[in-house]
Copies of this chain bind each other. A is one copy, B any other.
Amino acid sequence: MDVQDLVEYRAIEELKYRYMRAVDTKDWDLLASTLEPGVTAEYGHRLTFEGAQKLVRTLSRIMTDDIITVHRLSQPEIAIDGDEATGVWALTDRVIRKRDRVLLDGASIYRDRYRRGADGAWRIARTTYERLYESEVSLDDTPTFRLTEDRFAAPEVR
Q: Which residues in A have some Cβ–Cβ distance to B below 8 Å?
A: 1-4, 6-7, 9-11, 14, 17-18, 20-21, 24-25, 44-45, 68, 70, 72-77, 88, 90, 92, 94, 96, 104-107, 109, 130-138, 140-151
| Cα distance, A127 to B7, chains bound together (Å) | 26
Q: Are A144 and B145 in contact (CB under 8 A)?
A: no
Across the interface, name the chain B residue whose C-beta is closest to A88: B21
Candidates B11, B20, B135; contact of A75 at CB < 8 Å: B20
Q: What is the total number of copies of this protein in its complex? A: 3
Q: Are B150 and A145 in contact (CB under 8 A)?
A: no
Q: Are A10 and B17 in contact (CB under 8 A)?
A: no
Across the interface, name the chain B residue whose C-beta is closest to A6: B6
Q: Are B1 and A3 in contact (CB under 8 A)?
A: no
Closest 8 CB pairs of A and B: A134-B149, A131-B149, A17-B75, A138-B144, A141-B142, A70-B107, A137-B145, A134-B148
Candidates B7, B133, B151; contact of A149 at CB < 8 Å: B133
A123 to chain B, nearest CB (A): 16
Contacts of A150 in B (CB 8 A): 131, 133-134
| Cα distance, A133 to B90, chains bound together (Å) | 22
Contacts of A92 in B (CB 8 A): 70, 72
Can you give 9 contacting A-B residue pairs, CB < 8 Å?
A1-B10, A17-B75, A17-B76, A21-B75, A21-B88, A70-B132, A134-B148, A135-B145, A142-B142
